Structure 1
Amino acid sequence: MSVLALQEYEFERQFNEDDAIRWMQENWKKSFLFSALYAACILGGRHVMKQREKFELRKPLVLWSLTLAAFSIFGAIRTGGYMMNILMTKGLKQSVCDQSFYNGPVSKFWAYAFVLSKAPELGDTLFIVLRKQKLIFLHWYHHITVLLYSWYSYKDMVAGGGWFMTMNYLVHAVMYSYYALRATGFKISRKFAMFITLTQITQMVMGCVVNYLVYSWMQQGQECPSHMQNIVWSSLMYLSYFVLFCQFFFEAYITKTKSNAAKKSQ
């Protein structure tokens, strides 16, 4: 099956990736402004909410989660299909090193939509603050660093981006669907939440593997367009996520399970 056999929608065909890449090259540093405003809103919001009763916000949360779930599912289908075709027809190296993900049919729109989506996704935290839920370091650290790295990398069309974005679309498709179901009051097995965290941990391992492949092929003098600064930042980001998600998994599912079992035995 050829990559060209993938059906293109009109909005994908009409999308001008040259303008998108040019805009990001000129404006990617605005991600620092968004991050600073995000941090200020967290601090200010938590301060204000100390004096107020928490908001319920169930219906807005359902709508928010459903919207992001639908976006992620569609993105995962489109980019996943494109990456699968590259793998099947041209192999692993091409899927990692080829820059066609940024300007090729089907994927070019979803690559840009992905990096832009990291700004509105900061809104996840608004619900946590207004509902006075526990805000962990992993949550806001992850949001800020993904925004900064996505905008920083897209402008250079770095190798590995197709893998990074497709994996994130896939994980978010499952994660936001889970959030939407929970927000509606639907009871879901605890094992499903564990599964989501395990997929996130797996994503971080795969991110490190892709970075290693890019570095190895660059050292061998093969065409795999990236630069050491990007590989270093990306690797540090994925390694930190790996540690933090493993810590979260242990505390949320292992420690609590043992604690609950001990209470029941008393």
Structure 2
Amino acid sequence: MSVVANPQDLLFSSWFPTFDHWKTPIATGLIYLVATSIWNQYNRKYATKTKPTAIFKFFVSIHNLALFAYSFITFINVAPVVYQSFATRPFLDAYCDAGQQVWNSTLYYWTWLFYLSKYYEIVDTMIILLKGNTTSLLQTYHHAGAIFTMWAGFSSHAFPIWIFVTFNSFIHSLMYLYYFLTTINIRPPGKKYLTYLQITQFLVGGSIALSYAVTNSCERTTGQHLAQIANCIYLVPLTYLFAQFAVKSYHRKFSASKTTDAKAKKSS
């Protein structure tokens, strides 16, 4: 890929002035939070769960397939470049992306698209609500926060955003492939491991991000430093919410199953 010299070289470059402005992620996040709150209240009171239509199921299937393909393409375009940089350059040069080699050649372009994709991922929430279900705090916080933190990293040209882009695109490749397969009645085992991978992503990625936030090894602007701090702060409650979800969804069920088995043995 040629070096991206300016926003005009980006895909969807006409959107740049709007989406690069701080008001867009803030306004989108607020509208998203208010809209989901109102929709949740409506679904609790009035929604009835009905069998999804064939058209709706087809849309969900295509949605998941598209996000799988996009996430995978992002990962295979960014991860090898970051790896090659660390493998061939002095560590500090690679760590700080001296001369912005990775940023200009690859990361700027793909971070822009990854940032835009966070707006589209709101469709995930709409699918849940259209089914008559309600969304969790995890769901709303995850999506609203991802939009803002991706904007902060992209707009400030913060190199550590490579962590978000590579880790998240890898996890999303697996996650949306799993969701796509379920829409065509294929249910692979190990759904819980996707959640564990998410948590691992936050712990490992967050630790690397924190190293950028607390050290002065790299030259950076105030905006880049604030973007790094914002990403680290965002990950703290997100990791907690995912861990809480994992315990509630998997460990309590396992404990309940063991209790039931024990009672059955006693009565036999």
Q: Same fold (TM over 0.5)?
A: yes
Name the residue aligned to 1:29.
Answer: 23
State how far apart, in whole Å, the 2-side matches of 1:255 and 1:119 are: 33
| Distance verdict in 2 for CA 1:162–1:75, change over 3 Å | same
Offset, 1:48: 4.2
Of 232, 236, 250, 1:235 maps to: 232
Q: 1:87-129, CA deviations, whole angstroms, 9 ceiling, x for partnerless residues?
A: 211255444321444321x433211100111111111000111
Offset, 1:38? 1.5
Residue in 1 aligned with 2:66? 67
Question: Compared with structure 1, are the counterparts of its residues 217 and 94 closer, same or farther at alpha carbon in structure 2 (3 Å cutoff)?
Answer: farther
* Superposition pairs of residues 142-153 of structure 1, within 5 angstroms: 142-153=142-153
Aligned to 2:32: 38
Render the CA deviation track for 1:199-247: whole Å, top value 9, x for unaligned.
Answer: 11111112322223213541xxx33425443333222111222212111
Per the alignment, residue 102 of structure 1 pairs with 103
Q: Which residue of 2 aligns with 1:154?
A: 154
Q: Which runs of no fewer than 5 residues in structure 2 stay unpaired?
A: 264-268
CA distance in structure 2 between the partners assigned to 1:210 and 1:225 by the alignment: 16
Q: Residue 101 of structure 1 contacts residue 161 of structure 1 at CA under 8 Å; is this kept in 2?
A: no
Paired residues of 1:217 and 1:224 also in contact (CA < 8 A): no
The answer to whether the 8 Å contact 1:54/1:130 transfers is no
What is the TM-score when the length of structure 1 is the normalising length?
0.83
Taking a change above 3 Å as real, the CA distance of residues 96 and 200 of structure 1, as seen in their structure-2 partners, is farther
**Root mean square deviation of aligned Cα:** 2.4
2:201 to 203, 215, 232: 203
Match in the other structure for 1:248: 245
CA drift of 1:161 comes to 1.2
Identity %: 20
Contact 2:20-2:151 at 8 Å conserved across structures:
no
Aligned to 1:139: 139
* Structure 1 residue 52: Cα displacement: 3.9
Show structure 1 runs of 5+ residues with no match.
1-7
Give the letter for the 2:231 counterpart: S
Larger Rg: 2
Aligned to 1:53, which of 43, 48, 54?
Answer: 48
TM-score normalized by the length of structure 2: 0.83
Q: Deviations over 1:46-103 (max 9, x none)?
A: 3444434335132211111011011001111111111111121125544432144432
User: Is 2:13 the partner of 1:18?
Assistant: no
